[in-house]
Structure 1
Amino acid sequence: MKYSIENEHFRVEVEEVGAELCSILSKSSQREYIWQADPSIWGSSAPVLFPNIGALKGGSYTFEGQRYQLPKHGIIRHNPNVKLINRSPSRLSFSLSHSEETMKVFPFPFDFKINFLLMDNRLQVFHEIVNIGKDPMYFAIGGHPAFNLLWKKGETIRDYFLEFQDRETAGISLLTNDGLLKKTETPCLKDTNRLALTETLFDKDALIFTELNSSEVSIKSKKNKHQIKLNYADFPFLGIWSKPGAPYVCIEPWDGLPDYEDSTQEWLAKMGNIKLKAGNTHYASYQIQILEH
């Protein structure tokens, strides 16, 4: 079931299964800014990533001598047990708590909430993860929103680019065929704030930035003045991805990483994992702002 919030500018829809953002529709232009999950290309719109991001080596990890299996991107995505817990004209809140089922794959008691708050032309996606156990909890959290491109007729993917808040000199970590992070970085940005989008940019899968100075990136076109800004100040890592040649781009704020190719598969040693003390709450939000001119 889909739930909606709206104001005079936009209507936003979120699918209860997986608490997945599935629409940001402009009322003035009738333009849809979220990828509509075409299953022939990529059948998602904005998966929520928890308690792992991307792939685990061998699809599993070890904790306290026990081996556990976790799917790519974790247990929120596609999960029918996520439930709407609060709704107002401008806000939707969803929740998932630990259960016998989750403890079989992620042996930590938790309470997970995600909130969608629409304010003017901005949508804030706000995560709250509570460790309700007696010991520290280790996890990752991230977003995976996919934004439509080709906002106007006659445009191509090559008319679009990403503009970072600051000039950057940064390499990227690429993925192996198994979805694991390679240990060596590949040069990408050199004293620039712009990354051009092309049909072949993602031929080797996602571009993963682990050392950006910027906390905001915008999607822009050379042929019109519209833009989508995404602020990810609460997240230290950023993934950028699309199916090669597809008319969308994912801007993925991550608080955690996929396994490296040389991972020991030990959960406590997993690079990027957050350590949350018993009884504490981890907060992380990102904000989408749409500017139509």
Structure 2
Amino acid sequence: MTVIENEYLRVSISTQGAELHSVFNKQTGVEQLWQANPDVWPWHAPNLFPVVGGLINDELHVDGQNYAMKRHGFARQSEFKMAAETTKTHALFSLHYNDETLKVYPYKFTFQIIYDLIENSLRVTYKVINLESKPVYFSVGGHPAFNVPFNAGESYEDYYLEFETTEALATHRLSAEGYFNGETDPVQMNGNKLRLTRQLFDNDALVFKQLNTRQVTIKSDKHDQSLSVEFPHFNYLGIWAKPGADFVCIEPWLGCADTEGKQVDISQKECIQKVEQGHVFESSFYVSV
């Protein structure tokens, strides 16, 4: 386990999936990250690559060929290498293409995940390096789960999500198989606040595709502790918790699930990203306490 820390945060990261295992708030003594109870949801903060969400029939289509690909891709179950340049406040993890990745994703790439502590914020950066002589298509996203409530003796219903802007929100419905079905539902807000309830995720995640907001903050009615996720360049956002669980996921995405009846080539997928030959893609989001 790799640990980076400063006066505000102590962060632990595993080489499997380059996944966060702990975001400990040293100012309040609170563990902010869900601790992956295997009886509830066995992840902390999986990194999603090279797809986000589910693919119809678990198949990825590339240039007329079909490849077996599970929901959210293979990165979260892959072993990353930690770079030697790791410092007290900086850690870089790399996943390089190999024979196994080429069987399911026919591109040569390096996928890097970089963690930096900047005062009271953790910056998470995704880099995709194209090693091909053609464009590489991919999706990428975060899936961090944050403990709610923050403190013992509090209630889940004491908490709400505060959006950066006040706007009419609609969630894009997912089928039982995890594909968009083309329908939307309005989300009941109180101004820019979304109350956390035990029923909020009964119909799966809330998925927003056209947000003006670029920051969502977890707050409580009972105190002024908070946690914010800022995602300046991520166009889609998922918010989810397993019903009844004491966490909420705030998920910045550059990519999304398939839509029912619309199985297309990777280059035509909704919200797909492209990095040209000889180029590097890079995008970051921030977790702040």
Equivalent position of 1:18 in the other structure: 17
- Of residues 148-157 and 219-228 in structure 1, the stretch that sits farther from structure 2 once superposed is 148-157
Amino acid of the structure 1 residue aligned with 2:103: K
Counterparts of residues 107-118 of structure 1 (less than 5 Å)? 107-118=106-117
SS class of match (2:86): strand
Equivalent position of 2:257 in the other structure: 258
Q: Which runs of 5+ in 1 are unaligned?
A: none
Q: Which runs of 5+ in 2 are unaligned?
A: none
Amino acid of the structure 2 residue aligned with 1:21: L
Are 1:83 and 2:81 counterparts?
yes
SS class of match (2:164): strand
On the 8 A contact 1:140/1:255 being kept in 2, the answer is yes
On the 8 A contact 1:157/1:245 being kept in 2, the answer is no
Q: Deviations over 1:131-166 (max 9, x none)?
A: 110111111010000000112333211111100000
Equivalent position of 1:173 in the other structure: 172
Equivalent position of 1:269 in the other structure: 268
Are 1:200 and 2:199 counterparts?
yes
Shift of residue 280, structure 1, vs aligned partner: 1.1
On the 8 A contact 2:30/2:151 being kept in 1, the answer is no
Shift of residue 279, structure 1, vs aligned partner: 1.1
- TM-score, with normalisation over the residues of structure 1? 0.95
Amino acid of the structure 1 residue aligned with 2:165: D
Amino acid of the structure 2 residue aligned with 1:116: Y
Shift of residue 262, structure 1, vs aligned partner: 2.1
Amino acid of the structure 2 residue aligned with 1:243: K
- Of residues 61-70 and 218-227 in structure 1, the stretch that sits farther from structure 2 once superposed is 61-70
- In 2, Cα distance between the equivalents of 1:53 and 1:251? 14
SS class of match (1:169): coil
Comparing both structures, which one devotes a greater share of its residues to strand? 1
On the 8 A contact 1:145/1:250 being kept in 2, the answer is yes
- TM-score, with normalisation over the residues of structure 2? 0.97
Counterparts of residues 100-249 of structure 1 (less than 5 Å)? 100-189=99-188, 192-249=191-248
Shift of residue 266, structure 1, vs aligned partner: 2.2
Amino acid of the structure 1 residue aligned with 2:150: W
Are 1:8 and 2:4 counterparts?
no
Shift of residue 8, structure 1, vs aligned partner: 1.7
Identity of aligned pairs, percent? Answer: 38
Equivalent position of 1:284 in the other structure: 283
- In 1, Cα distance between the equivalents of 2:165 and 2:41? 31
- In 2, Cα distance between the equivalents of 1:208 and 1:7? 34
Equivalent position of 1:57 in the other structure: 56
Q: Deviations over 1:73-98 (max 9, x none)?
A: 11110212x11113101001000111
Amino acid of the structure 1 residue aligned with 2:123: Q
Shift of residue 182, structure 1, vs aligned partner: 1.9
SS class of match (2:22): strand
SS class of match (1:58): helix
